[in-house]
Amino acid sequence: MTSSADDALIVQSDGSVLLEVHAPRAESAREALAPFAELVKSPEHVHTYRLTPLSIWNARSAGLSGATMVAALREHAKYPVPDNVVTEVGELAARYGRVVLTRDGDPGDGLVLTCLDQPTAERLFRDRATAPCLGDRIDATRFRVSPALRGTLKQALVVAGFPAEDLAGYVSGQEMPVAFRGRCLSGALLSVRDYQREAAEAFYLAGSERGGSGVIVLPCGAGKTIVGMAAMAAVGQTTLVLTTSLTSVKQWRRELLDKTTLENDAIAEYTGESKTTGPVTLSTYQVLTWRPDRESDFPHLSLFAARSWGLIIYDEVHLLPAPVFRVTAELQARRRLGLTATLVREDGREGDVFALIGPKRYDVPWRDLEQRAWIATAVCTEVRVPMSQDRRMEYALAERRTQFRIAAENPEKTGHVRAILRRFPESRALVIGEYLTQLEALAKQLRAPLVTGKTPQSEREALYDRFRRGELRQLVLSKVGNFAIDLPDADVLIQVSGMFGSRQEEAQRLGRILRPKADGRTAHFFSLVSRDTREEELAHHRQLFLTEQGYSYKIEIPPEA
C-alpha cells in the first residue's frame, strides 16, 4: 500500500516504532501494531513501541504470521519500512517452532528435541545454558532430553533465542466430569460468551499436543473465571486452581457452585484456614510460598504432588512468584492455563511465563469488549494535585528515595477525593492507595470502612456484601483491592497512591470497575498525582499498558490555592 500523510507509523531501523497519536489513521494503526509490539512510552503526541523477540513469539503462538506483521507495518507506515526490520521480524517469527520437543514413545518415556537444521542443533549443543539440558545425540538434528529437564530446557531455549514448540503431550489426571448448568442457582440463564468459549478452545485445541498449555489475556470484568471453568470442562480431570488471595478462593468456590455441576464436597481449599485437597483444590500463592524462615524449604509446595492433577490454573499469572516458577519447571507434563489481564511483569520474567506456563493463546483488545458492552465504558482522568508551600520544601530537601512517598501522601489529595465524590453522588465508589497512614486518614474523613491486609477475612466479606447490596456506597481499600474482589456495581475508583510505576497495578485497579453496569452507566477511573513531582513522572509509565489497550487519560490541573 502506498504511504500517505494519513498514515500514523514511523518504523525505525533500531526496531522502534513511533505512533503519531493525532494522525487520521492512528487508531487502526494501534490496533494492528499492538498484537506484536510492546508499548514503551506514551507521552501526549507520539507513542513509542518496540519490536521484541517475546512480543513477536507471543503473536506467532496466537496465530499471527511474520508476513502479517510486516504487512501491518507497511500498511500504516508513513515512510518505507527499513529492510533490516523486515528481515528481523521475519527471522524472529521463523524461530518459533524451529525447535520441537516430542515424546520418545509412551507417556513416562524420555523426550526428543528436534532442530529444523544442523546449524541450529550445533548452536544449541554449544550454548552454555541449553547444552547441560541435552542428553545423548541421536543424529545431526536430534537430542534425547530427560523429562525432568523439560521446563529448564524450555527456559534456556527462550534465552538462546529458539523458543521450543512443546508437542510432548501430557499425563492424565483422575477423571472429573465438569459441565455448565443451564441456569445459575439464582435462576438466571447462564450464557458463555463467544470470546470466553473461543479462549478455552484456543487453550485446549481439541486435546491435541499443540494445546493444553498457555495464557489467556482478558481484562478484569470480562469473565476470566468462566474461561477457567470452560477449560476444566474441556479437560475433565482433577484441577488445582492457584489464586492471589483468600478472597479470590472464596470467589472461585462461589462461581463453581453457581455455574457448574460440581458439588460442594468436590471443592477443597488449601489455605491458611484449612488444608485439604479434593478433585478441585483452590489455593493461594501466599500459602504455597510460606516458609518458617529464609533458610527453610517451602513446605506447602508439596501440594503440586498431592494429587495427579490433570490441569493447573494459574489465576493472575503475571503475579506468579519465583518459587512457584521453580516447581512449575518440573510440572511440564501437566496441562497449565494462565489467566491474566496483562502479560506485563514488573520483574521482567515474561520469558519464564512464556516458557513454563505457555505462550499467549488468546486475547481481545479491551476496547473491543467495551464496544460490545461486555465490559463497562471507562473514562480515565489524571488529576495533578498541587502541594502546599511547606510540603514542596520538604519534598525538595528530601532524599530521592523518600520523595515519592512525600508526593504520594500529599494531604491536598483529600479535598480532591471529596470533590470527585460530590460530582458523582449516586456512585458506588472505591478509594484505593498504597500507604496505610494516608488511607486511615481518608477513611476517617469520608466516614467509610477501610479494608487492609490486616482486616479479618470474615469482616472483609461482610463489608463487600454490604457494598454489593448498596448499604455502603464507599469503601477505602489498601492494595488488597488490586485483586479479585467481586464488586460489580462499583463505577468510580479514585487512586490516591500506587506502587511506583507499576503498569500491572494500574490495569488491575481499572479492572475493579469494568464489570458492565445493569443501567449501562460509564465507569470513571481517577488517578491523583502530586504536581511537578516524581509521582507525576511515574504516572506516565503506569499508564503504558492501558494506553496500549486504547485508553487515553484526560488531564485535570486544579488551580493552586
Q: Spell out the SS3 assignment of 416-462.
A: HHHHHHHHCCCCCEEEECCCHHHHHHHHHHHCCCEECCCCCHHHHHH
CATH architecture of 99-166: 2-Layer Sandwich (3.30)
Q: Please, which pLDDT band fits residue 249 given cuts at 50, 70 and 90? A: very high
Per residue in 221-247, pLDDT (tens digit) is: 899 999 999 999 999 999 999 999 999
Q: What is the pLDDT of residue 63?
A: 84
Confidence (pLDDT) at 519: 85
Q: Where are the domains of the chain?
A: 9-95, 99-166, 194-364, 370-556
| Topology match between the domains 194-364 and 370-556 | yes
Residues in CB range of 120: below 8 A, 6 or more apart: 98, 99, 141, 162
> What CATH number should be reported for the domain whose range is 370-556?
3.40.50.300
Rounded to an integer, the average pLDDT of 392-396 is: 96
Judge whether residue 471 has pLDDT over 80: yes
Please write the tens of the pLDDT for every residue from 276-328: 999 999 999 999 999 998 888 999 999 999 999 999 999 999 888 988 988 99
Sheet holding 142-145, edge to edge: 142-145, 111-115, 99-103, 164-166
- The beta strand positions in 342-405, using DSSP E, are 360-363, 378-385
**CATH assignment of 194-364, among 3.40.1390.20, 3.40.605.10, 3.40.50.300, 3.40.1360.10:** 3.40.50.300
DSSP assignment, residue 517?
P
According to the model, what pLDDT value does residue 549 have? Answer: 81
Question: Which of the residue ranges 9-23, 288-302, 383-397, 541-555 would you say has the lowest mean pLDDT?
Answer: 541-555
pLDDT in tens, 432-452: 999 999 999 999 999 999 999
Q: Considering only residues 265 and 105, tell me which one the structure prediction assigns the higher pLDDT.
A: 265
Nearest to 527 by CA among 511, 506, 546, 541: 506
359 pLDDT exceeds 60? yes
How confident is the model over 339-354, as a mean pLDDT? Answer: 88
| Residue in the block written with cell 501466599 | 286
In this prediction, residues 10-29 reach a mean pLDDT of 93
Task: Give the residue from 371, 376, 375, 405 showing the smallest Cα distance to 391.
Answer: 405
pLDDT of 9 higher than 90: yes
Give the C-alpha separation, 101 to 365, whole Å.
Answer: 31
Task: Say if residues 209 and 503 touch (Cβ distance below 8 Å).
Answer: no
Q: Residue 25: what pLDDT?
A: 92
- Per the CB < 8 A criterion, the answer to whether 34 and 10 are in contact is no
- Per-residue pLDDT, averaged over 73-96, amounts to 96
Measured in residues, the chain has a length of 561
Q: Is the pLDDT assigned to residue 6 strictly greater than 90?
A: no
Cell numbers describing residue 239:
484441577
Residue-wise pLDDT for 498-551, tens only, equals 987 788 889 889 989 998 888 889 999 999 999 999 999 889 888 888 887 888
Q: What is the mean pLDDT of residues 136-155?
A: 95
**Residue 123 pLDDT > 90:** yes
Confidence of residue 484 (pLDDT cuts 50, 70, 90): low
Look up residue 159 and give its three cell numbers. 534465552
Please say whether the beta carbons of 345 and 504 come within 8 A.
Answer: yes
Element (H, E) at 30: helix 26-33
C-alpha cell at 150: 523439560
% pLDDT > 70, the chain:
98
Confidence of residue 106 (pLDDT cuts 50, 70, 90): low
Q: Does the pLDDT value for residue 2 go beyond 60? A: no
